[in-house]
């Protein structure tokens, strides 16, 4: 056994034997699931201490990375305000404050500031703290907000009187993070609650400040495949309840003018058909895959939106994947993907014209920003790229003019010193896998091989974002090429790209990632032996599978909250997410799926191999990927590796799936990750290419 801090003897005494489909599996580390066992806690603490001991000689590098990240941060900053009613709303941060302050001004940006919510004050005394959705009532007198103090994503719904500046007495536990919507009486809210497995499964209505026991249940979804979510239409006319599984979805509405009227289902579920709803004028706009794999936009009258009433508004286009829409009074904004790139299209409903918004960079992300005015003729967008910091844009949908409202200031960063591009890697079945690259122009011109840091995900149809990371500047400044492989399983190239990387085609995801890494080496862009890989959650499953199938491909890998114990988890319906995940990975109670999943399940395929350096991370309160999955994987890898290279485990004992809370603690986590990567790639002594500004004394003092 290599480099083990401790291996509790009870591991061998508490082995779990599984017998499935005529096959026997023995899990020597099953005992780690007992979170209430003090020995489990001691073991995780010992693993953490072991990592800290190994990283101790690199304290200067680790602290230096953290200092660089903080130095780039404009600590006193604010978001660009958005207009809602007579107010301008925004958030800001202050030096030393780890969390946001929510503010507004009445009538003018020159007016005095009113602080609505100071997350720094609320976070005091909590090891973990996160604010979910924040929603102001239509009359701007009350605030509904959601708080998680455990990292288990079971948010508490609270209400605040904005005139008094104090919370109302009623609080509702176990609410979904983003599912709260106000009715037009500014007293009633509709929200989604969680079951014991953290599935949003019931919809309630309550008056702000009332006791939780007074809430009225509007819907309870017994089918465990479905998650329920709530949002308020931009028009303010309806509150939409969406029931979503991996392959089927349907919607119901609450009349925002008459919230006590109950729910009205628009079109009942049809297996394999997905749809979502927005409201415009006298019609609903319906985004659906009905007879359109890449989705199209339909319309139906508000008084009758059943299946037979649907009429096509924007037809399906084979090369255009429609992902989201936003309905204004006279325009519809579409968020699409074309040729692997995100894009925005605008439908002028008066003229019936559809046009695209132009963006100049070769690799970028764009999304809807804060849009609160239904009658607006401009749409707020968020734009960024691997080399362009987050940028707030306003686009006039009528004149087609575009304004840059704010670019996030990143101190000491000069975008022109960096370059981004996209290349394509050949993979199995004739597929071409897009790869996004970013690097310093003076250290890597795109042709000379350099050390490489490659990320991947490839699940749930989520496109892998190519957003800006000021932390990754520290890697690029040390000559590392930062890359993202847009493998099958995501929807980067449309819905078929997703379908080709799920269920009985999941191995395409693994092959694509390996193909991307090999292409970058064979094309002379990456140095063999200087490759690192990173994946989180389902991306951690990808990394774990690549470890087993291509152990020599990377020198160092990080699997963050990795879903690696696939088969055991998918056979346990008492765990959060399992039932709904059967539509993504397959149900292993079926032997066909069982055999296929066993062929790549990371934990089940660990064996005597020359594994690279591995760092696994977990969160003790994680409801999505239990902490024991990375813990078990680390122990099994350490038992079987023949390379003598390090297998390390770090567990956040006061956090969940999203890691530590607060911007400074997140930087500390990333600094530890990058320290590990630089160490294992032999770059621990490589200084950054640019001299960073000297930090203010109070910041530098905080690093001690």
Catalytic residue list: 537, 622, 657
Tell me the three state secondary structure of residue 229. strand
CB 557 within 8 A of CB 612: yes
Local structure of residue 524 (DSSP, 8 states): T
Q: What is the dihedral of CA 420, 550, 563, 452, to 10 degrees?
A: -20
Q: Which two tokens stand for residue 677?
A: 């990567």
Strand 450-456 and strand 418-426: the pairing is unpaired
Q: Which two tokens stand for residue 341?
A: 């790139």
Neighbours of 225 (CB within 10 A): 17
CB 490 within 8 A of CB 535: no
CA distances for 441 relative to 110, 314, 389, 420, 477, angstroms: 42, 42, 17, 9, 10
- Backbone phi and psi for residue 112, each to the nearest 5 degrees, phi listed first: -70, 150
Q: Which of 69, 63, 51 is nearest to 558 (CA)?
A: 51
CB 623 within 8 A of CB 576: yes
Query: Distance between CA 221 and CA 209 in Å, rounded?
Result: 26
CB 642 within 8 A of CB 609: yes
Query: Distance between CA 379 and CA 402 in Å, rounded?
Result: 10
Size (the chain), residues = 704
CB 585 within 8 A of CB 566: yes
Query: Distance between CA 542 and CA 538 in Å, rounded?
Result: 7
CB 554 within 8 A of CB 534: no
Distance of CA 587 to the CA centre of its chain: 24
Strand partners, 455: 484, 534
**Sheet containing 378-384: order of strands:** 365-368, 378-384, 391-396, 402-407
- Backbone phi and psi for residue 108, each to the nearest 5 degrees, phi listed first: -155, 150
Alpha-carbon radius of gyration of the chain? 25
Query: Distance between CA 216 and CA 339 in Å, rounded?
Result: 46
**Three-class HEC string of 371-388:** CCCCCCCEEEEEEECCCC
Neighbours of 217 (CB within 10 A): 10
Local structure of residue 144 (DSSP, 8 states): E
Q: How many helices (H) and strands (E) does the chain have?
A: 14, 39
Would you give the end-to-end CA distance of the chain in angstroms? 35
CB 569 within 8 A of CB 622: no
Query: Distance between CA 80 and CA 438 in Å, rounded?
Result: 27
Tell me the three state secondary structure of residue 538. helix
Tell me the three state secondary structure of residue 227. strand
Q: Which of 471, 443, 477, 478 is nearest to 455 (CA)?
A: 471
């Amino acid at each position: 056994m290599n480099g083990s801090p401790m291996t509790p003897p009870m591991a061998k005494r508490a082995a779990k034997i599984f017998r499935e489909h005529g096959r026997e599996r023995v899990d020597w580390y099953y005992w780690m699931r007992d979170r209430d066992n003090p020995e489990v806690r001691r073991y995780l603490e010992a693993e953490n201490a072991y990592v800290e001991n190994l990283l101790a000689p690199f304290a200067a590098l680790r602290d230096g990375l953290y200092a660089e990240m903080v130095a780039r941060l404009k600590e006193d900053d604010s978001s660009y305000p958005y207009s809602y009613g007579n107010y301008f709303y925004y958030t800001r941060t202050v030096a030393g404050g780890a969390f946001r302050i929510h503010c507004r001004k009445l009538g003018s940006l020159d007016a005095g500031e009113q602080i609505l919510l100071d997350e720094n004050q609320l976070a005091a005394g909590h090891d973990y703290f996160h604010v979910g959705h924040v929603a102001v009532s239509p009359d701007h007198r009350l605030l509904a907000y959601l708080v998680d103090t455990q990292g288990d994503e079971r948010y508490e719904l609270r209400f605040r009187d904005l005139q008094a500046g104090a919370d109302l007495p009623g609080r509702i536990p176990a609410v979904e993070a983003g599912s709260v919507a106000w009715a037009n009486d500014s007293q009633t809210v509709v929200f989604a609650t969680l079951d014991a497995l953290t599935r949003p499964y019931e919809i309630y209505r309550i008056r702000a400040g009332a006791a939780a026991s007074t809430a009225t249940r509007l819907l309870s979804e017994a089918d465990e495949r479905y998650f329920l979510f709530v949002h308020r239409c931009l028009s303010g006319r309806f509150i939409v309840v969406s029931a979503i599984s991996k392959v089927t979805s349907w919607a119901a509405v609450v009349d925002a003018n008459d919230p006590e009227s109950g729910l009205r289902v628009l079109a009942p579920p049809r297996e394999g058909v997905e749809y979502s709803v927005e409201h415009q004028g006298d019609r609903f706009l319906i985004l659906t895959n009905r007879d359109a794999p890449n989705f199209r936009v339909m319309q139906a009258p508000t008084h009758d939106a059943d299946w037979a009433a649907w009429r096509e508004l924007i037809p399906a286009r084979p090369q255009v994947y429609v992902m989201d829409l936003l309905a204004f009074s006279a325009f519809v904004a579409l968020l699409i993907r074309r040729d692997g790139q995100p894009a925005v299209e605008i439908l002028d409903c008066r003229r019936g014209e559809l046009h695209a918004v132009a963006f100049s960079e070769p690799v970028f992300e764009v999304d809807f920003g804060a849009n609160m005015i239904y009658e607006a003729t401009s749409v707020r967008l968020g734009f960024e790229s691997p080399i362009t910091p987050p940028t707030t844009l306003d686009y006039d949908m009528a004149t087609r003019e575009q304004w840059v409202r704010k670019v996030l200031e990143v101190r000491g960063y000069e975008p022109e010193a960096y370059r981004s591009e996209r290349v394509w890697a050949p993979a199995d079945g004739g597929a071409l896998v897009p790869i996004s690259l970013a690097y310093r122009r003076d250290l890597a011109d795109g042709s000379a091989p350099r050390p490489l840091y490659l990320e991947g995900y490839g699940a749930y149809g989520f496109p892998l974002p190519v957003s800006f990371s000021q932390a990754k500047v520290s890697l690029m400044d040390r000559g590392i090429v930062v890359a993202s492989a847009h493998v099958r399983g995501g929807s980067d190239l449309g819905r078929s790209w997703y379908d080709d990387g799920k269920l009985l085609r999941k191995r395409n995801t693994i092959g694509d990632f390996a193909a991307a890494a090999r292409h970058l080496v064979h094309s002379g862009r990456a140095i063999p032996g200087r490759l690192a890989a990173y994946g989180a959650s389902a991306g951690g499953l990808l990394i774990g599978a690549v470890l087993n199938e291509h152990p020599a491909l990377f020198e160092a890998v990080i699997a963050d909250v990795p879903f690696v114990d696939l088969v055991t988890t998918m056979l346990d319906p008492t765990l959060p997410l399992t039932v709904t995940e059967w539509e993504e990975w397959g149900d292993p109670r079926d032997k066909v799926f069982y055999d296929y999943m066993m062929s790549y399940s990371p934990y089940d395929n660990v064996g005597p191999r020359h594994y690279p350096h591995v760092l696994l991370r977990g969160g003790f309160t994680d409801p999505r990927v239990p902490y024991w999955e990375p813990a078990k994987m680390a122990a099994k890898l350490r038992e079987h590796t023949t390379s003598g290279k390090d297998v390390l485990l770090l567990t956040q004992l006061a956090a969940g799936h999203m890691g530590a809370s607060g911007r400074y603690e997140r930087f500390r986590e990333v600094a530890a990750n990058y320290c590990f990567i630089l160490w294992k790639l032999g770059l621990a002594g490589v200084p950054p290419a640019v001299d960073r500004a000297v930090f203010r004394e109070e910041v530098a003092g905080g690093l001690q």
